Amino acid sequence: MNVGVAHSEVNPNTRVMNSRGMWLTYALGVGMLHIVLLSIPFFSVPVAWTLTNVIHNLGMYVFLHAVKGTPFETPDQGKARLLTHWEQLDYGVQFTSSRKFFTISPIIL
C-alpha cells in the first residue's frame, strides 16, 4: 500500500461514469431495484414502477447534486471539495455522453 501517493487522474471522480461497463451496471441496478419492489406481495406493478422512479430520482439527486467533494485524496488543492459530482463529471464539459445518459435515463424511467 502506497500511503500519500495520488491517483494517476487529478480527480478520479471525473472519469468514473465513463469507465467500462458503468452504464450497464447502472441499468442493471435500476432493474434489480424494480425486481425487488415487484417481489413485495402487496405492491401492484404501477406502484412498483412509481416507487422505482421515486427511489431512483431521490438517490440520484443526493448522489449527483447534494453531496459535495470526492471520496479520494486529490492533488487539486481542494477545488473538488466545493463541487458536486455533477459539476465534476467529465471535468465540467457540457453535452458529453455521460451527461446525456444521466439526463435521459430518468426521463426514460
Residue 50: all three cell numbers together = 412509481
Residue 27: all three cell numbers together = 441499468
Give SS3 for 78.
coil
H-type helices in the chain, by residue range? 22-38, 45-61, 85-88, 97-108
Torsion region of 78: left, alpha or beta (phi above 0 gives left; psi -120 to 50 gives alpha)? left
Q: Which residues 6+ apart lie within 8 Å of 43 measured at CB?
A: 37, 51
Per-residue pLDDT of the chain (109 residues; tens, 9 = 90+): 455 555 566 677 777 787 888 899 999 999 999 999 999 999 999 999 999 999 999 999 998 899 888 877 777 777 778 888 888 888 788 888 888 999 999 999 9
- Residue 35 pLDDT: 97
pTM, two decimals, is 0.81
- Residue 1 pLDDT: 47
DSSP 92: G
Distance of CA 71 to the CA centre of its chain: 13
